[in-house]
Amino acid sequence: MREVPRPDYEYQIERIVSEYTRAMYRISAELQRLDLTDMSRANAAAALAEVVRILTELNETSSEWVTRNLPIAATDGVAGTIYALGVADTFEEARKIAKFNRINKAMVDAVIADTQSDLLAVTANVERKVRAAVRQATAESMRANMARGVNGRRTVNRDILDGVRKKLGDSVNTGIIDAAGRKWKPEVYVDMVTRTKTMEAHMEATINEAVARDALYGVISRHGAKDNCRLYEGKTVKLVPNAPGPYPYLGNLRGGRDVFHPNCRHVVSPIRKPPDAN
Ligand SMILES: [Zn+2]
């Protein structure tokens, strides 16, 4: 049996993640420059404009990343199937003849759109939080200075300053809060999303190409996983629910807590006949 080569997008993922890390760092630096003891609406507006500029640039970079890298992952999936089924002798050769069929074209468009919206949610959330934190900082600062005008002393309270400072910092650190209420730092969330979506594009493409070539089964790869995935390594699965035989349907295993969870690195190698048939 020929296995689908395990895809490796680490380099590309690291690159996009570091773009987020760098952008968040630049935003933090911008916010730290604000003089909280004497803030005007003009200061606040200038800082926010810079933050928006950084986020807009980041959105452009990540949009390019997504439209470039997800089709590559899907092509690798198609080529993996062509190679695993023995249609080409080498994976390189398989990659040269790999094309998206209709289902894969639609799938790639959908995963791209999905990933774009996940990533846009991160920057939108950072922008919303930064705006709220800057608005509060401006209000606190102006209020304190108004009080100073009345009693002639600087009354910007240390605790208030620290609180505002912390809010400004936190506004950059929470990229997303997921359905389970977990907070993700932007770069950690982006790492998970891009890793999971490239693997999803790869696997969807693998399956669609396999089914189009009448291969209805697959074998889950092994790399000595330590998590619950280990229970599934080497197992035969059905690629479509109505394929004959007592094998679990891959679609029911995916997205669960055990195998093919977020960040999972397992792949499926398509086969025409399950190992113990005939
Ligand atoms: Zn896994």
Residue 200 within any structural domain of the chain: yes
pLDDT at 143: 86
265 CA to centre of ligand 1 in angstroms? 5
Are 224 and 134 within one domain?
A: no
Asked if 233 and 182 count as a contact pair (C-beta separation under 8 A), the reply is no
156 CA to centre of ligand 1 in angstroms? 53
Are 125 and 193 within one domain?
A: yes
273 CA to centre of ligand 1 in angstroms? 23
Domain end (from 213, 247, 264): 213
Residue 166 predicted with pLDDT over 80: yes
| Integer angstrom CA distances of residue 83 from 163, 245, 250 | 59, 24, 20
219 CA to centre of ligand 1 in angstroms? 13
CA-based torsion, 110, 115, 121, 123: positive or negative: negative
Residue 4 within any structural domain of the chain: no
87 CA to centre of ligand 1 in angstroms? 27
50 CA to centre of ligand 1 in angstroms? 41
Distance, in Å, from the CA atom of 22 to the CA atom of 20, rounded to the nearest integer, reads 5
Are 227 and 205 within one domain?
A: no
Are 186 and 242 within one domain?
A: no
- Express each pLDDT in 180-219 by its tens digit: 888 889 999 999 999 999 999 999 999 999 999 999 999 9
- Express each pLDDT in 216-229 by its tens digit: 999 999 988 888 88
Residue 102 within any structural domain of the chain: yes
Closest CA to 86 of 278, 277, 273, 228: 273
Residue 157 predicted with pLDDT over 80: no
pLDDT at 278: 44
Are 161 and 179 within one domain?
A: yes
Residue 118 within any structural domain of the chain: yes
55 CA to centre of ligand 1 in angstroms? 33
The DSSP call for residue 245 is S
Q: Number of helices (H) and strands (E) in the chain: give both, helices first.
A: 7, 5
Are 204 and 98 within one domain?
A: yes
Are 208 and 220 within one domain?
A: no
Residue 148 within any structural domain of the chain: yes
pTM, whole model, 2 decimals? 0.89
Domain end (from 163, 197, 213): 213
Are 209 and 259 within one domain?
A: no
End-to-end CA distance of the chain: 16
In the structure, ligand 1 is a single-atom ion and the residues with CB under 5 Å from it are: 229, 264, 266
| Residue percentage of the chain with pLDDT more than 90 | 71
Residue 2 within any structural domain of the chain: no
Residue 145 φ/ψ, nearest 5 degrees: -75, -30
Closest CA to 30 of 118, 124, 126, 139: 126
225 CA to centre of ligand 1 in angstroms? 7
Are 188 and 250 within one domain?
A: no
Q: How confident is the model at residue 17 (pLDDT cuts 50, 70, 90)?
A: very high
Domain end (from 213, 232, 249): 213
- Express each pLDDT in 85-135 by its tens digit: 999 999 999 999 999 999 999 999 999 999 999 999 999 999 999 999 999
Are 38 and 125 within one domain?
A: yes
Overall number of domains in the chain: 2
- Express each pLDDT in 28-66 by its tens digit: 999 999 988 888 899 999 999 999 999 999 999 999 999
| Residue 271: burial class (beta carbons within 10 Å; 0-12, 13-18, 19+) | buried
Q: 256 is written with which tokens?
A: 């669960």
Residue 3 within any structural domain of the chain: no
Residue 241 within any structural domain of the chain: yes
236 CA to centre of ligand 1 in angstroms? 15
Are 101 and 194 within one domain?
A: yes
Are 52 and 178 within one domain?
A: yes
**Containing domain of residue 144, as a range?**
10-213
